[in-house]
Structure 1
Amino acid sequence: MTMTTRARAVFGHALIALAAITAAAPALAQSDLPPEALSTKPDGRYYTGYYPSWSDNWFDATGKTPGQVYAASKLARIPATYTHVNASFANPNFSWGGLAANSWSGTGIDFTATPKDIKAAIDVLHMRKMKVILAVGGATYNDWSPLAAEGAAGSGPRITALANIMKDLGFDGLDVDYEADADVTRYANATRAMRKAVDLAGGGRILAMAGWSTGADCIAATSGMADCAGKLSYWGGNAGRERLLVRDHADVAKMFDLVNVMSYDARYEHYDGVMAYKQYRSLFGKNTVVSIGFEPAPEGWAGGILVVNNADAQCTGSRILQDQYGKNLDSPYSVARFNLAVKKSKSANKNPHDGAMIWSILKTASGNCGSAQIASPGTVGQKSAKMLGLVNDPLLNDAPWK
């Protein structure tokens, strides 16, 4: 078979165009990054940081090398203490115009830089061995019904759009951050939709969950579960929601690769994050990583004051008075105590990657606790690095990470 003159010309033009595209794209070489751009430890314990897209800086990655993107992008410079970065937040009623459109319209994502620029930053984070996950929902976005309907049906445009943005920008998975209500069926179907999107995107991508603070608590509706015998949580509202999800939708419980417990925002009088972690760890199988959560003060529901060391718990709010079931504790609300609970876990379901999470990477801590310093993202990261065997990145000492 031989080519016609026209065919040869078309083929030649295609080769020239391909060569031009290849030449324009900067090579992703680890050696191009500066020495301070450390890599994380992907095979150890996980340390997840939520990254608020609305707090990121504008930058232009056009024509830049990875080293230049690292210098220009705050996202790309996240300290290597973090193993997972959850970019926050996408609207569950999601649409995506594709990378060619280069617009966040329909996504709910609030980066000021364009999708193509953020893709370049994600590429740098991948060079540094971090996973970058797209968090969906959060406290702001509550329109879950359309996505849940697609989850029940098994397909739909939102599922396809979520799969496409993962492939287009290089996100390593999705995070189900369902904070809308106690509708467990809608929660389950939305999770099915997001699991379907993750699987469609392929490449070993993962599905994570932001577990509600009291979501694993025992409530009246779960009294028949063996580990709830004689236990009734102080809390109402969304208390017990994730426990009901696991009980009533066993297929959904197995869909999560990672659960980050929001073990904060419930004050200190009747809530212990260590109890929350233990309960979540017992709910999910050993193939699911479960991490305890931190939030620097002031929390969303002000009152609890997170400190770094047990000895720093010198003020009201830094000591947990009772757990969810009325047991008197007077225990430190500290990074040290929470991480120790993960390290010393005796759960039959424990996973070697069980670790910690923080909301958020960029949150400025404010307040005081006697003569002790309250916990900040930098000091939480430094303490967690020492206790959990993470990279203790010197960038944690510098703004905006400290």
Structure 2
Amino acid sequence: MIGVYFESWACTWTDKAEESALAQIETPIDVVFLSFVRPDCTYVKSQGTWVGTGMDFALDFQVVRKAIQILKSKGIKVMLAVGGATYSFDTFHHKSVAELMYDLELDGLDIDWEPVNGIADALKFGPILEQAKQYCISGQLLSAAVFANGAMAQKEGDLYRGVNVAGLQSHGHLLDMINIMAYDGGKQLDVIASYLSFHQYKAKKMVGFQVGKQGWGDALLTLDDVVQVCSMIEDGDGCFVWAYFKQGTPSVEQVVETAAAFLDNHEEEPVGVPCPHCGKGLFITK
């Protein structure tokens, strides 16, 4: 499974759903996370506008709704990402968020909880997941974006190490996917160790890649990194990219294509991926 976070603020205007950047997303992308909704969203049923949602679409509400239907017709799931680095969960109007999800006919919610106080707020994560899950009906999914070191043992002086442990232990069973933000940690970040630290939790694990300059640190993603990490991802798990419109080398498209070459093949089959140096086909066994 491969996902992308779709920045609502970067999607250019059109009045034709089929011409929108959202509708033009294709497989091998399997899930799109629409970003971001305010946890204190004030949306009400049948409102049909972005007022009070935190979403920054230039597109009309109904255009986005139709674009979502186009994606779903391709077999691509579309989920509503709530929170992020900008919007806090100090207040969570979960019913309003759910009404927005229902009106857009989405496949579920993604809880992107990034507390400013870090480990001091660790006990808040589980109840937030519980509040969101009660509104995921008729097969709708619940995922959570977590910190790269969020499942590791706490370490004195580290604000976020272990911040997701308490919530995952108490409410992790409610999750269908765990999206590991395995970036913004500098060159010293061990992405594979981060992935393995979430192994005990049953939800699908999605390892995050960020293209271009990262929000923090000096790391710069390469296709070699994508190959190395995807070769370690277990069957049933996957990856996601932050973010769809973000520019970088390799591009989002190259990362997705390279990841798909590994994740869509069985262990005994040779995997053909583009050589990160010459661009020609390179066959590697997973």
1:322-361 correspondence runs (5 A): 334-343=225-234, 352-361=235-244
Alignment-mate amino acid for residue 275 of structure 1 = A
The answer to whether the 8 A contact 1:145-1:186 is kept is no
Structure 2 residue aligned with 1:258:
177
Cα distance in 2 between the residues matched to 1:307 and 1:387: 15
Please state if 1:59 is matched with 2:14: yes
* Distance apart, 1:219 and its partner CA: 1.8
The SS at the match of 1:168 is helix
Alignment-mate amino acid for residue 90 of structure 2 = S
Deviations 1:22-71 (A, max 9, x none): xxxxxxxxxxxxxxxxxxxxxxxx1010000001121224xxxxxxx32x
* Distance apart, 1:243 and its partner CA: 1.8
Please state if 1:75 is matched with 2:10: no
Structure 2 residue aligned with 1:280:
198
The answer to whether the 8 A contact 1:97-1:103 is kept is no
Alignment-mate amino acid for residue 52 of structure 1 = E
Please state if 1:304 is matched with 2:206: no
Structure 1 residue aligned with 2:279:
none
Of structures 1 and 2, the larger Rg is shown by: 1
The answer to whether the 8 A contact 1:97-1:105 is kept is no
1:376-391 correspondence runs (5 A): 376-389=251-264
Alignment-mate amino acid for residue 182 of structure 2 = S
Structure 1 residue aligned with 2:106:
171
Cα distance in 2 between the residues matched to 1:98 and 1:105: 13
Structure 2 residue aligned with 1:237:
159
Structure 1 residue aligned with 2:59:
113
* Distance apart, 1:79 and its partner CA: 2.5
Deviations 1:205-258 (A, max 9, x none): 0000111121011125xxxxxxxxxxxx9x7011111123234x2xx1111100
* Distance apart, 1:337 and its partner CA: 0.7
Alignment-mate amino acid for residue 375 of structure 1 = P
The SS at the match of 1:106 is coil
Structure 2 residue aligned with 1:10:
none
TM-score by length of 1: 0.63
The SS at the match of 1:379 is helix
The SS at the match of 2:82 is strand
Please state if 1:160 is matched with 2:95: yes
Alignment-mate amino acid for residue 58 of structure 1 = W
Cα distance in 2 between the residues matched to 1:278 and 1:176: 21
Please state if 1:292 is matched with 2:207: yes
The SS at the match of 2:81 is strand
Counterpart pick for 1:191 among 129, 147, 157: 129
Cα distance in 2 between the residues matched to 1:203 and 1:115: 23
CA RMSD of aligned residues (A): 1.7
Cα distance in 2 between the residues matched to 1:276 and 1:379: 23
* Distance apart, 1:146 and its partner CA: 2.4
Q: Which runs of at least 4 in structure 1 moved beyond 4 Å after TM superposition?
A: none
Percent of paired sites with the same residue = 27
Cα distance in 1 between the residues matched to 2:96 and 2:135: 8
The SS at the match of 1:77 is coil
Cα distance in 2 between the residues matched to 1:159 and 1:136: 10
Structure 1 residue aligned with 2:269:
none
* Distance apart, 1:376 and its partner CA: 1.9
* Greater fraction of residues in helix: 1
Cα distance in 1 between the residues matched to 2:168 and 2:101: 27
TM-score by length of 2: 0.87
Alignment-mate amino acid for residue 144 of structure 2 = M
Cα distance in 1 between the residues matched to 2:45 and 2:62: 10
* Distance apart, 1:98 and its partner CA: 3.4
Cα distance in 1 between the residues matched to 2:154 and 2:96: 37
Deviations 1:377-402 (A, max 9, x none): 11101111111118x9xxxxxxxxxx
Deviations 1:123-176 (A, max 9, x none): 00010111000000000001x1322xxxxxxxxxx2322222222111110001
The answer to whether the 8 A contact 1:159-1:196 is kept is no
Alignment-mate amino acid for residue 254 of structure 2 = T
The answer to whether the 8 A contact 1:159-1:193 is kept is yes
The SS at the match of 1:76 is coil
Cα distance in 1 between the residues matched to 2:30 and 2:127: 28
